[in-house]
């Protein structure tokens, strides 16, 4: 306890230097925590699951995937036609609709643009990640929104981030002028917003409304079908109880001649998301192997600089301690202990603060990647901070601690004389 008291007394000896070192540690641990949180979430999204196995069906030879919507009903059943064929436990389709609230395409900007999923509204409750695990009050509110979209197909649900960007509120209407569906203009009523978090930048409306607009298009355009009429299905999601059922369903789909023109492919959710993230490969590689390690190295150098200054100022003190009977190992542990106290404490403060600010105050880190609009700090980050702070403090203070351990009493007092 006496040794620990000495360590804490030395930490308080120069409060300005300790505070500056602590603030630098907090900032750098914050950056590491944010980077690791994004990578952790994406790693979780690309890991295969043993239960509730999800699969994605897309067009085989074209990116972006554009399949005939006539495929939807059969693919939702995994092409099950005969007794004994495997059927999914649940399914949903996605159609991507990009539009702007300004009719003039030259005035397009983030503040008036919207990317939305056209889908079956009831699938929000069963197939969308995280929305099937909402607290009871939020789940009930989402159920009411789904019922409204089923009753009125012009309804749309938006994330709070998109609502703020568009300067819209629940209950208002907006006209969405199609970008990828040119000349398809949709009058939409904002019926609710998504629970805060992952879907802050998302938007969903009823696919029936878009299909009705495509069906009505020929009457106003010399009986010509819309160019997207036969390729309005982008993704089909299927859920299976296990990998074995998925393999059987994949065989059914790939052997069905109905899906040969255009051809389709089926892959696991993890494989499909990995394919979507391929466009961000260099960015994610840099975050994982350059940015995060660089922050840890910089943190170690910051601590090394502060501890080195402290050690040089206290060489006489260390010499006196040796005269009084302290062993070199004691001096080593004193210096390491001071750095570790600062690093561990600052790392913990940074992790807890980041967790609270990002998850509670901001409702997630807004860093759009593929169709992930925001990221949350995982519970594991609460121990990432102290560990990163402790590790960087140990690495940064080790050589200054060796310098303190090797102090020569005769040399110090000869200089004084």
Return d(Cα 192, Cα 213) in angstroms, integer: 23
- Residue 369, pLDDT score: 77
Model pLDDT, residue 99: 93
- Give the pLDDT confidence score for residue 209 in this predicted structure: 97
Which pLDDT belongs to residue 324?
82
The first and second tokens of residue 29, run together, are 């641990």
On whether the CB atoms of residues 192 and 139 are closer than 8 A, the answer is no
Domain segments of the chain: what residues? 2-45+281-416, 62-262
Q: In the block, which residue shows the tokens 């939409």?
A: 188
Strand partners, 119: 206
pLDDT at 223: 93
Predicted confidence at residue 296, as pLDDT, reads 92
Dist CA 179 CA 239 (whole Å): 31
Packing angle, helices 15-45 and 292-313, rounded to 10: 160
Helix/strand/coil (H, E, C) string of the chain? CHHHHHHHHHHCCCHHHHHHHHHHHHHHHHHHHHHHHHHHHHHHHCCCCCCCEEEEEEECCCCCCCECHHHHHHHCCCCCCCCCCCCCCEEEEEEEEEEECCCCHHHCCHHHEEEEEEECHHHHHCCCCCHHHCCHHHHHHHHHHHHHHHHCCCEEEECHHHHHHHCCCCCCEEEEEECCCCCCEEEEEEEEECCCCCCCCCEEEEHHHHHHHHHHHHHHCCCCCCCCCCCCECEEEEEECCHHHHHHHHHHHHCCHHHECCEEEEEEHHHHHHHHHHHHHHHHHHHHHHHHHHHHHHHHHHHHHHHHHHHHHCHHHHHHHHHCCCCHHHHHHHHHHHHHHHHHHHHHHHHHHHHHHHHHHCCCEEEEECCEEEECCCCCHHHHHHHHHHHHHHHHHHHHHHHHHCCCHHHHHHHHC
What does pTM read for this prediction?
0.76
Q: Say how many residues make up the chain.
A: 417
Q: What is the pLDDT of residue 197?
A: 78
Pairwise CA distance, residues 192 & 149, whole Å: 10
What's the rounded Cα separation, in Å, for the pair 192 and 205?
11
> From CA 394, how far away is CA 26, in angstroms rounded?
16
Residues of the chain with pLDDT under 50: none
């Amino acid at each position: 306890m006496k040794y620990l008291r000495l360590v804490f007394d030395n930490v308080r000896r120069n409060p300005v230097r300790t505070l500056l070192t602590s603030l630098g540690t907090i900032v750098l641990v914050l950056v590491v925590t944010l980077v690791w949180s994004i990578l952790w979430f994406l790693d979780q999204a690309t890991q295969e699951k043993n239960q509730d196995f999800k699969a994605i069906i897309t067009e085989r030879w074209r990116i972006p995937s554009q399949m005939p919507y006539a495929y939807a009903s059969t693919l939702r059943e995994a092409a099950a036609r005969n007794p004994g064929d495997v059927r999914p436990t649940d399914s949903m389709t996605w159609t991507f609709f990009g539009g702007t609230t300004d009719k003039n395409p030259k005035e397009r900007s983030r503040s008036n643009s919207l990317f939305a999923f056209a889908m079956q509204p009831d699938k929000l409750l069963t197939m969308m990640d995280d929305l099937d695990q909402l607290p009871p009050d939020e789940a009930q509110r989402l159920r009411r929104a789904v019922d409204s979209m089923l009753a009125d197909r012009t309804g749309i649900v938006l994330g709070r981030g998109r609502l703020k960007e568009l300067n819209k509120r629940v209950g208002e209407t907006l006209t969405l002028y199609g970008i990828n569906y040119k000349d398809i203009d949709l009058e939409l009523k904002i019926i609710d917003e998504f629970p805060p978090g992952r879907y802050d930048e998302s938007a969903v409306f009823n696919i029936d409304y878009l299909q009705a607009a495509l069906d009505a298009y020929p009457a106003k355009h010399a009986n010509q079908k819309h160019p997207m009429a036969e390729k309005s299905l982008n993704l089909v999601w299927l859920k299976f109880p296990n990998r074995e059922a998925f393999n059987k369903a994949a065989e059914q789909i790939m052997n069905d001649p109905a899906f040969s023109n255009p051809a389709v492919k089926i892959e696991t959710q993890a494989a499909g998301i990995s394919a979507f993230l391929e466009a961000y490969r260099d960015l994610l590689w840099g975050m994982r192997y350059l940015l995060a390690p660089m922050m840890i190295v910089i943190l170690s150098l910051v601590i090394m600089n502060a501890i080195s200054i402290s050690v040089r100022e206290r060489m006489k003190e260390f010499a006196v301690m040796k005269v009084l009977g302290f062993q070199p190992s004691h001096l080593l542990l004193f210096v390491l202990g001071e750095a570790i106290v600062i690093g561990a404490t600052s790392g913990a403060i940074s992790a807890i603060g980041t967790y609270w600010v990002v998850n509670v105050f901001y409702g997630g880190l807004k860093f759009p990647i593929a169709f992930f609009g925001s990221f949350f700090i995982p519970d594991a980050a609460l121990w990432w901070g102290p560990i990163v702070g402790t590790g960087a403090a140990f690495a940064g203070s080790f050589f200054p601690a060796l310098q303190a351990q090797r102090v020569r009493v005769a040399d110090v007092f000869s200089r004084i004389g």
